[in-house]
Each structure stands twice: as C-alpha cells, then as structure tokens.
Amino acid sequence: MGGTQSLALQQGKGPHQVGCTDVMVGHTWQGLLLRLFYPCLPQGGAEQPLWIPRYEYCAGLANLTLLSCSAPLISLALGSCRVPVSWNGPFKPCSTGYPLIIFSHGLGAFRTLYSSVCLELASWGFVVAALEHRDHSASATYFCTAEDGREEWIPYQQVPQGQKEFYFRKKQGSIDLSRVTVMGHSFGGVTAVLALVKEPRFSAGHPSCCRCAVALDAWMFPLENALYPEVTKPVLFINSEKFQTPESIAKMKRLSSRNSQTKIITILGSVHHSHTDFTFLTGKLFSLIFGARGTLDPYKGLEITSQAALAFLQKHLNLQEEFAQWDNLLEGIGDSVVPEAPFCHPNL
C-alpha cells in the first residue's frame, strides 16, 4: 500500500493550546454544521478527535476520486488518524474576546480537511469556524431532522451534463457570515471574496468589524466580472505554484489594482492540495491519489501560509500582537515565496 498511511499533523506553534468541537445549528439542509477550533485550557489525557469523523466521508472522497470501490481502503488506512487538539476541551477565557475566522472548504472537501491551518491559527489566539457546506459542494455532509433525529446525508454533486460549470458553481457556496474575517481554499477561496460583496455585514460602511478575506489558491473562475468593482475590502491571495493560470492571476491583479492593501503571493514548490491536510499524509499511495505533495516541505508551507495570514490579519483587524514580524511575506519576500506568480515575476 506504498507504506503505512498516517496523518502527521503537528500541534500549533502559538502560545495557546487548542480545543475543538462540532456545532450543528438547524434541522434542515439550510442549517449549519461546523468544526470550531479555539484556545483552550490545558487538559491532561484529553481525547483527540478523528480526522475523518464518519465512514460516509470516506465514501464521499472515494466517489470524488472516481474510485468508489476504494472507500473501505480509505477508511482502513485513514479512519484512525486523529487531530492533535483537545476534543471538547475547556474554553480559555479572554477578557477582550478572540477574533473570529470563518473558513470555507474547497469543492469535494469537508469541515475537517483543513485542520492543520485551522488549529495553527487557533493556537495564535483565534476562534476558527470551519464550515461544512450543505449545497452539494462538500464530498458529503448531513443534518439531523427535528422530528426523530434521523440523519439526512447530502452527497457531492458533479456538474450535470449539459450545464455550463460557471453557472452551476456560482450558485453554490453561499454562507451566512457574522463578523471579523472569512478565509477559504480553492472554491472556498473565491467564496471568501464573494462574501465581502454578498454578506451585508461585510459591505463597505457597515458598522461591523468584518474587514478582509484570506484566499488560499482561490479558484477565480466563478467570480462574475460585474462583481469586481464591488470588492472594496482587502484580500490576501496565497497561491500555490502549480495551480494558478495567467488568467486567474490577472483577475486577482484586477482586485489589487483597486485596493493597494490587497496582496498576491505564491509559495514555491507547492501544489493545490498543499493547503489541505492531505499534504501531511506520510504514505505514498494516498499522496499520489490526491495529488497532495509538492517539492516544498509541507511544514514549511504551513508556516508561510499561517505567518502571512497572521501578518495580514494584524493589519486589518487592528490586533495588538507581534505578527508584524512577518510583514515581509505579504510583499512576497522570503524563502520559498514570491510576489504574484512565477510567470509574472521578472526575476524568475
């Protein structure tokens, strides 16, 4: 099987220990399911949650890779992997309140597949709500009915034959946001950008403290041209080296031309799934199946991503932390990072 499969996630490098719990709101597909990562009090012998919480998610991943027969294999190999956080750990009180990040997953993912970046940001003093979308963009998700608590599962949906992908995808990914900032990967990255326009509490002039977005390797395709002038808040685009196209970068630059605080950087040696937990799988088989590994060490990639995000959030959320030490990353200055994209960078 290409060596023993395991998930080599590390504990957060920030000053806080991290707890997590699942939250379900509402008894229909219009409700919310999310995994909450937060600073917690130390707890000896704390239980660590499963990375893939249910077998149905293994089946969803198998269908997504068009290897439906591999669901038992995925479950056998990865079903016992755990995340190094304290399950339902006691919340650590904070007199000033923790800033909130709402994380939107990519197509075919679900709430736990970005645990590495979520727990890292939580360790630096954020509450991170990793959503699981019920619009058929998750590989699988569910809700519990109010009548008898029965589970209703919602599968991932491919683009129907005869429909254009742009018009199909742009209807998905709508989220009900509350405050602070929104972050996402791939399809979730462009959802984060759209949230700055579509969510009234993120719009210019609203008294809310929602101020910016962080987009990890955003799939810019579903963003309508008519919406570009409406994106007035700053966005940090953190791209991989092997996913973006000149056309996609041009769309990001269109936003940065309207707001000097919008930044575009690329992590060299990374691939699209370098922003997911798949990059931390130690065995070769599933790394190949999910295309999870670039040439850059995955821990270095996570460090660049989290430090750049922290520096950006300090600027736009008026945080009184020491995250400004990583401001150079926002200009694409540092080891394994460049501004914009390699094909846009004059020195490469």
Distance between CA atoms of residues 39 and 98, nearest Å:
9
Q: How many helices (H) and strands (E) does the chain have?
A: 9, 12
Residue of 133, 185, 272, 273 marked catalytic: 272
Residue of 16, 185, 217, 275 marked catalytic: 217
The residues with which 91 forms a beta bridge, in sequence order, are: 40
Active site residue 217: yes
Pairing assessment for the beta strands 127-131 and 100-104 based on DSSP bridges: parallel
Residue of 70, 86, 123, 186 marked catalytic: 186
Pairing assessment for the beta strands 181-185 and 151-155 based on DSSP bridges: unpaired
Distance between CA atoms of residues 73 and 58, nearest Å:
9
What sign does the dihedral 170-187-248-256 (CA atoms) show? positive
Q: Quickly tell me which residue has 């590495």 as its tokens.
A: 116
| Structure tokens belonging to residue 43 | 């707890």
Contact (CB, 8 A) for 38 and 157: no
| Residue 125 half-sphere exposure toward CB, CA atoms < 13 A | 16
What own/partner pairs with CB < 8 Å and gap ≥ 24 does 109-112 have?
109/138, 109/139, 109/185, 109/188, 109/276, 110/57, 110/60, 110/138, 110/139, 110/140, 110/141, 111/22, 111/33, 111/34, 111/35, 111/138, 112/35, 112/49, 112/51, 112/52, 112/53, 112/57, 112/83, 112/277
Active site residue 272: yes
Distance between CA atoms of residues 277 and 167, nearest Å:
29
Residues labelled as active-site residues: 186, 217, 272
